[in-house]
Amino acid sequence: MPLLRVSDLTVSFDGVVALEQASFDVEEGQVCGLIGPNGAGKTTLFNCISRIYQPTSGAIEFDGKSVLSVPSHRISALGVARTFQNLGLFDSQTVLQNVLVGAHHRMRANFLTSVLRLPGVRREERALRDEGMALLVDLGLESHAHQPVGGLPFGTLKRVEIARALASRPRLMMMDEPASGLTHAEVDDVGELLLRIRASFGLTLLLVEHHMSLVMGVSDKAVVLDFGRKIAEGPPSAVQQDPAVIEAYLGSSV
Amino acid sequence: MKKLTLTRGGTAHRTIMLVTVLVLVAVALYLPHYYAPYRVFQFTEVLVFAIAVLSLNLLTGYTGQISLGHSFFFAIGAYTTAVMFRDLDVAFVIPFVVAFVVAFVVGFLIGIPALRLSGVYLALVTIALAVITPPLLTRFEGLTGGSQGINIDTPTAPAWSGLADDQWLYYICLVVAAVVFLLARNLVRGGVGLSMTAVRDNELAARTMGVNPAVPKTRTFAYSAGFAGVAGALYTLVVGLVAPGSFTIILAINLLVGTVVGGMATIAGAVFGAAFIGFVPVYTSGINPALGGVIYGAVVILIMFVMPGGVMGLARRIRGWLVTLEEPADRRRASGTGQTETAGSLPAARAGAVDGGTEQSGTTDPGTAQDDRPGEQTTTGDRREN
C-alpha cells in the first residue's frame, strides 16, 4: 500500500480548473519530486492534502485513510507536515518557539492546566524545549534559537520551517520549493539536507521544486504536472526525456 | 558607554531581575503609607484598571482579536458583585469567583460567533456590546437599580490590620491583581501562549501545524472576559456604587488605549497602560479644564509616534542599548530529550538511552531552572533511534 495515494483529484475555482484528474502514488520512504511550469497546480495539490482547499472531486488517502474527512488542524497529527513556498512562520516568535508550535499536536497542556501551571505542564514544556533545541542543533540553527524570526536571512528561515515541520514527527513531509530564493551553494546544501533528514527521520518526501538539478538529483520518482494535468510520471531520468515534458517546459516546437 | 553583557539565566541576570522585582514589590507595598488617601484611592483604581487592561491585552495583544466591548464584561463583574452584596449575605471572596465565572461563560459564548469575524469586523460587533451595556443596565430596573444603580458599603479595614480603609482596599486590589497577573503570565508563557500568538501571526500556518484556531480564540475570549469581570468586581468594592453611566463605550476605548500604550502582547505593560488611563486625563484636565480631552487625545497620538511598541516596547529598546543578553552556552548544545512522565506521548524519549547525566542547574533558563529536579535525567543519545 502506498503511503500517499492521490486519485482523480480535480480542483476548480469558479470554473478555473487548477487540477484535473490528477492521480499518483508515493511509496513509504520515497522522495517524490513534483514538477511542472508555474501555475501547473503543484501548490494547489499541497493545499488539498493540507485540507486548506476542498477538491471538487477525487480522493486523497494517507496510510490507507481518507484525508478529506479530516479537518486541516488534524492533518499534522496524522503524520503529514509541510513547509511553505513563501514561508509561513510566526513572525513575533523566536526560532525555537516556532519549532515548538510544530510540536503542538503532541502537547497535552490545555488552557486550564496552563493557567494554573501544573507540574505536568512544566515538565512537558521542558521536554519539548529540549527536543526542539536538539532539532535546531541538528539543522545547525542553534545559534539563532532565541532570536525572533523577523530579520533572519531567507535561507535560514527556510531551515527553520524544516525544523518546525520535523517537530511534528511527520511520516510524510511536503516541501514547497525548499531551494527557492537561495544561493547556489545553499541549493547544494538543501539537496544533502533532504537526503539526510529522510534517512535520519525515516521520512517520505513530496517535493515541489524548480531547480531541476536538485529535484532530479534527490528524487526516486518524478511526477510532472502541466495545466493541472499529470503529463508524466516515472524515474527522473526517463521523465526528463519525455517529449510531453520537454514541450511543456520549452513550448511547442511547431 | 560600554554595554553590559549578561548571560540569560546567569547569576548576574537573575540577581538583577530579582532585585528589580523586590524593589517593585516594596514600592507597591509602601505606596499607601506614603500618599494621602485620595492618592491611594487613585492607585487602587489603577490596580483595578490594570486587571481590565491586562484582560483585554490577552485577547487583543496575544490572539489579535480586537474588542471594543470590554466595558460589557467589566460591567457584568461589577453588577454581579453589587447584586450579591445587596441581596445575599455572602463571604468576601465569593463575589470575585462568581463574577469571574459569569463573565467567563458569557465571554466564551460571545467568543463562538466571534470566530467568524476578525479585525475591524470583530471590533464593530464588540462596539455593539459596549453600546448596549448602559441601556441594558437601565432597562432591568428590578435587578440593576435602573439609572440610579446600586449602592453598597465598601469594606472597612479590620481592626487587627491597623490600616485605614483606603489602605485596606488598596491591599485587597494589590493581592487580586497579583493573582490575576500571575495566572495571565502562566497562560502566555508556555505552549498555549504560543498557540495564541501563532493564530494571530499566521492562522493558516498555525492550522497546518495542528493548532485548531477556534481553541485559542474562544478560550482566550473566555479568560479575557473572566478577568475583566474580576476587575469589575473590584471596581464595585472600591467605588461602592455601580450605575450605567460608569460602563459606557468610553471605558472600553480607554481600556484599548491602555493596552496599546502599555504595549501589545505584554503582561507588565498593563500596569503602565492603566496608570496612563488613570492619571493622564486627570492631569490634562488640570492643564485646561475645557481642553482636557483634546490634550489627552494629543498625548495618545504623540505616544503612538514616539513609542509605537508602548511603554514595554520602549523599555525593551532601552534595555537593548544598555545590555547585551547572551544565551548560556549549554543551551546551545543538544541536551537530548528529557526523560519525563510525558514520555508516553513522546516515543523518542522512551527510545533514548538514559545515561544518568543530570543537567547543571543554575545555568539554565530562569523559566525552567525552578523545574530542575535532581532525579530528572537527560539523555545525550540520538533523538530518534527507533
B203-215 pLDDT, tens digit per residue, is 999 999 999 999 9
Q: Is the pLDDT reported for residue B303 higher than 70?
A: yes
B136 and chain A in contact, CB less than 8 A: no
- pLDDT for B376: 36
In the stretch 160-189 of chain B, residues with CB closer than 8 A to chain A read 183, 186-187
Q: Which of B53, B58, B57, B86 is nearest to B71 (CA)?
A: B53
With b for 16 or more beta-carbon neighbours within 10 A and e for fewer, the A213-250 pattern comes to ebbbbbbbbbbbbbebbbbbbeebeebbebeebeebee
B351-363: pLDDT as tens digits: 333 333 333 333 3
Is residue A61 within 8 Å of A4, Cβ to Cβ? yes
- By CA distance, what is B350's nearest residue in A? A127
Mean of pLDDT values over B72-84:
96
Q: Is the pLDDT of residue B181 over 90?
A: yes
Question: Which CB contacts under 8 angstroms, 24+ apart, belong to A111-116?
Answer: A111/B187, A111/B192, A111/B215, A111/B219, A111/B220, A111/B223, A114/B186, A114/B187, A114/B190, A114/B191, A114/B192, A114/B193, A115/B183, A115/B186, A115/B187, A115/B223, A116/B183, A116/B186
Q: A78: which 3 cell numbers?
A: 496524522
Percentage, residues of chain A above pLDDT 90: 80
pLDDT at site A136: 97
Mutate to test the interface with A, among B209, B219, B326, B371 (most CBs of A within 10 A): B209
Structure confidence by residue, pLDDT tens digits, B96-121 = 899 999 999 999 999 999 888 888 89
Query: What is the pLDDT averaged over residues A179-195?
Result: 89
pLDDT at residue B384 above 50?
A: no
Interacting residues of B100 by C-beta distance below 8 A, sequence separation 6+: B77, B226, B227, B229, B230, B233
Non-local (6+) Cβ contacts of A4 within 8 A are: A25, A26, A49, A60, A61, A62, A172, A204, A206
pLDDT of residue A188: 86
Residues A8, B19: Cα–Cα separation, whole Å:
66
pLDDT value at A249 more than 90: no
Binary contact (B183, A115; C-beta < 8 A):
yes
pLDDT of the residue at A252: 58
B209 with A120: Cβ contact below 8 A = no
Q: Are B55 and B227 in contact (CB under 8 A)?
A: yes
Strands B323-326 and B4-7: parallel
| Integer Cα distance of B110 and B99 in angstroms | 16
Mutation target to probe the A interface, by most A beta carbons within 10 A, among B342, B358, B368 is: B342
What is the pLDDT confidence band of residue B327, given thresholds at 50, 70 and 90? confident
Of A76, A77, A107, the CB nearest to B191: A107
Mean of the pLDDT values across residues B80-93?
87
**Backbone phi, psi, residue B374, to 5°:** -60, -30
Asked whether the beta carbons of residue B265 and residue A92 sit closer than 8 angstroms, the reply is yes
Mean pLDDT of the residues in chain A? 93
Q: Which residue of B has its CA nearest to A138?
A: B334
pLDDT exceeds cutoff 60 at B34: yes
8 Å CB contact between A10 and A34: no
Which residue from A92, A122, A127 is facing B337, i.e. has the nearest CB? A127
> Cβ of B70: how many Cβ atoms within 10 Å?
31
Give the confidence band of B139 by pLDDT, cuts at 50, 70, 90.
Answer: very high
CB-closest option in A84, A88, A104 to B191 = A104
**C-alpha closest to that of A100 among B268, B206, B249:** B206
Hey, which residues does A83 pair with through a beta bridge? A175
Lowest mean pLDDT among A34-48, A121-135, A240-254, B67-81: A240-254
Q: Decide if pLDDT at A192 tops 80.
A: yes
Q: What is the pLDDT at residue B337?
A: 39
Q: Residue B274 is inside which H or E element, if any?
A: helix B269-287
pLDDT at site A253: 52
- Distance to chain A for B267, nearest Cα, Å: 14
Phi, psi of B242, deg, nearest 5: -120, 130
Mean pLDDT value of segment A119-136: 95
Per the CB < 8 Å rule, is B205 touching A168? no
**Cβ distance of B340 and A52 shorter than 8 Å:** no
pLDDT > 70 fraction of chain A, expressed in percent and rounded: 98
What are the pLDDT digits (tens) for A8-26? 999 998 888 999 999 999 9
Q: Which of residues 317 through 356 in chain B touch A, CB cutoff 8 A?
A: 327, 331-338, 340-343, 345-349
CB count, 10 Å around CB of A75?
26
CATH of B35-302, one of 3.30.565, 3.30.420, 1.20.140, 1.10.3470: 1.10.3470
> Is-contact A98 A160, C-beta < 8 A?
yes
- pLDDT of B372 over the 80 cut: no
Q: What is the pLDDT of residues B47-74, one digit of tens each?
A: 999 999 999 999 999 999 999 999 999 9
* pLDDT attached to residue B361: 36
CA distances from B222 to A178, B63, B189, B227 (A): 40, 12, 18, 9
Average pLDDT of the segment spanning A191-206: 95
Interface mutation vs chain B, best among A131, A136, A171, most B CBs within 10 Å = A131
pLDDT-derived band at B261, boundaries 50, 70, 90:
very high
pLDDT at A240: 87
Most confident of B6-20, B188-202, B335-349: B188-202
Q: What angle do CA B126, B62, B264 make, to 5 degrees?
A: 90
Interface test with B, best of A80, A114, A116, A141 (most B CBs within 10 A): A114
DSSP summary character for residue B59: I
- Mapped onto helix, strand or coil, the DSSP state of residue A40 is coil
Question: How far B139 CA lies from chain A's nearest CA (Å)?
Answer: 36
- Å between A148 CA and nearest CA of chain B: 13
For residue B345, pLDDT over 90 is answered with no
**Range with lowest mean pLDDT among A99-103, A235-239, B184-188, B249-253:** A235-239
- Report domain extents, chain B: 35-302
- Res B385: pLDDT: 34
Asked whether residue B91 carries a pLDDT value surpassing 80, the answer given is no
CB contact under 8 A, A76 and B209: yes
Instruction: Answer whether B197 sits within 8 Å of A93, measured CB to CB.
Output: yes
Residue B309 has pLDDT above 70, yes or no: yes
Closest residue in A to B347 (Cα–Cα): A169
Task: Among B207, B337, B340, select the one facing A123 at the smallest CB separation.
Answer: B340
Residue B197: how many CA atoms within 13 Å on its side-chain side?
A: 23
**Whole-angstrom Cα distance, residue B38 to residue B91?**
27
For residue A92, which residues of chain B lie inside 8 Å, CB to CB?
197, 200-201, 265
pLDDT at A70 over 70: yes
Q: Which residue is closest to A48 within chain B, CA to CA?
A: B208
**Other beta carbons within 10 Å of B336:** 25
User: Among residues 195-224 of chain B, which lie with CB inside 8 Å of chain A?
Assistant: 195, 197-198, 200-202, 204-213, 215, 219-220, 223
CA distance B19 to B220: 32
Tell me the average pLDDT of chain B.
84
Q: Is A234 helix (H, G, I), strand (E, B) or coil?
A: strand
ipTM of the prediction: 0.93
